Amino acid sequence: MQSILSHKITQIITTVIILLSAYIIIYPPHIGILERTSEYAPILMFGMLFISFIFLIFNQKRLMFIGMMATAFIAFFLKVSGNDNLVLPEQNMLPKLKVAYFNLSTFNKEKPELDKLLEEVQADIICLQEFTPDWDIPIASMLRFSYPHVHKMTRVDPFGMAVFSSKPFKEIKTFYYKDIPNLILTIDNELQDIDIVSSYIPLFYPQPKMTREEHLQEITTAIKGRDNPVIAMGDYNKVYWQLELIQFRNSTLLNNSRRSTALSAVNPYDHIFYSDDLECVQFDELLDSYQNHIGITGTYQITSNLRNKRKTGFERDSN
């Protein structure tokens, strides 16, 4: 084996394969199964690291170095695609807003899991996707006392949604991509209103001409027109390091609440993004008793800079 790997042509071919693999992981072509390669970037990254150690065992230091460089490049790509703050922001004295997002298709209506979870999560805002008539009455009875402010769009297809809030709504707006609803709700968060954007981007659209790119563009346009701080959440059916979501965040100037991802064969497709005038002080993946992903929560605060800026502006207007 060592003699084969030492051959010049073998080394050239192996180098090309390693570099091409790293490129395809980060920039997958829109070709069949290759398009989904990026989803498994963490696993493939560790696979490449393992191969690099194999090269070391066979004393192929050049190939080991190339493999390690490709591994480092993928690791760097994953890190900058997430939240690149090394530590959580320090909590200030301004009001916090905790949001939670669940896709109800994850739950079995005959189990009490959801009832207990909604009680324990203690969020100010709960967004529910795939809100069908079967869920309407049970969830309304669970949340009616703790969450007096409710907006529901009950549908029999996966595009029904509901938002339950302990804080008042100042504005509710629905915008559509074709027949798929997206919500913007302005929340009265004491010192500063916050806009909540809830969306669901399906894996497969009901019409052939509908595309994820067009849908994301509709959401981008809606977010760009907002003056308040924004929290955008939903099922995007993409992992956060895939190019479509990177471009979406760059276009909307939103940050990723996730700082990393667990090494798993099943990646979460639900995300919470937030604007620069907010800080994410806590983000949690919610798991059931079998360690399956069932939802996410995030806690956000207004940045002190924004508060000082608004206070200065108010004082200037008063004078």
pLDDT in tens, 130-159: 999 999 988 988 888 899 999 999 999 999
Is the predicted pLDDT of residue 228 greater than 90, yes or no?
A: yes
- The residue behind tokens 């993946």 is 285
Q: Are 184 and 220 in contact (CB under 8 A)?
A: no
Partners of residue 285 on adjacent β-strands: 296
How sure is the predictor about 86, in pLDDT bands with cuts at 50, 70 and 90?
Answer: low
CA–CA separation, 62 and 64 (whole Å)? 5
Is the predicted pLDDT of residue 314 greater than 50, yes or no?
A: no
Q: Are 273 and 256 in contact (CB under 8 A)?
A: yes
Q: Mean per-residue pLDDT for 231-249? A: 94
Q: Mean per-residue pLDDT for 109-125? A: 79
Question: Is 0.85 topped by the overall pTM?
Answer: yes
How sure is the predictor about 265, in pLDDT bands with cuts at 50, 70 and 90?
Answer: low
State residue 153 phi and psi, 5-degree precision.
-130, 85
Q: Mean per-residue pLDDT for 103-131? A: 84
For residue 264, the model assigns a pLDDT of: 61
For residue 11, the model assigns a pLDDT of: 87
Of 236, 120, 126, residue with least CA distance to 177: 236
Q: Mean per-residue pLDDT for 7-18? A: 88
Q: Which helix (H) or strand (E) holds 119?
A: helix 113-121
Please tell me the total number of residues recorded for the chain in this structure: 319
For residue 195, the model assigns a pLDDT of: 97
Q: In a 3-state reduction of DSSP, which class is residue 243?
A: helix
At 85, list the tokens: 């703050």
Of 257, 172, 168, 245, residue with least CA distance to 212: 245
At 168, list the tokens: 């008042």
Q: What is the largest CA-CA distance in the chain?
A: 82
Q: In a 3-state reduction of DSSP, which class is residue 75?
A: helix
- The residue behind tokens 């490449």 is 48
Q: At residue 19, what is the residue type?
A: L
Is the predicted pLDDT of residue 190 greater than 90, yes or no?
A: no
Q: In a 3-state reduction of DSSP, which class is residue 171?
A: strand
At 220, list the tokens: 């981008």
Mean pLDDT of the chain: 87
Give the burial string for 181-191 (b: 16+ CB within 10 Å, else e).
bbbbbbbebee
CA–CA separation, 274 and 195 (whole Å)? 10
Which domains, ranges and CATH numbers included, belong to the chain?
2-81 (no CATH), 96-309 (3.60.10.10)
How sure is the predictor about 301, in pLDDT bands with cuts at 50, 70 and 90?
Answer: very high
How sure is the predictor about 313, in pLDDT bands with cuts at 50, 70 and 90?
Answer: very low
Q: Mean per-residue pLDDT for 151-173? A: 95
Partners of residue 164 on adjacent β-strands: 126, 150
State residue 226 phi and psi, 5-degree precision.
-95, 145
| Backbone dihedral region for residue 219 (phi beyond 0: left; psi -120 to 50: alpha; all else: beta) | alpha
Q: Which helix (H) or strand (E) holds 235?
A: strand 230-235
Helices (H) and strands (E) in the chain, counts: 9, 12
DSSP 8-state code for residue 185: E
Q: Are 263 and 42 in contact (CB under 8 A)?
A: yes
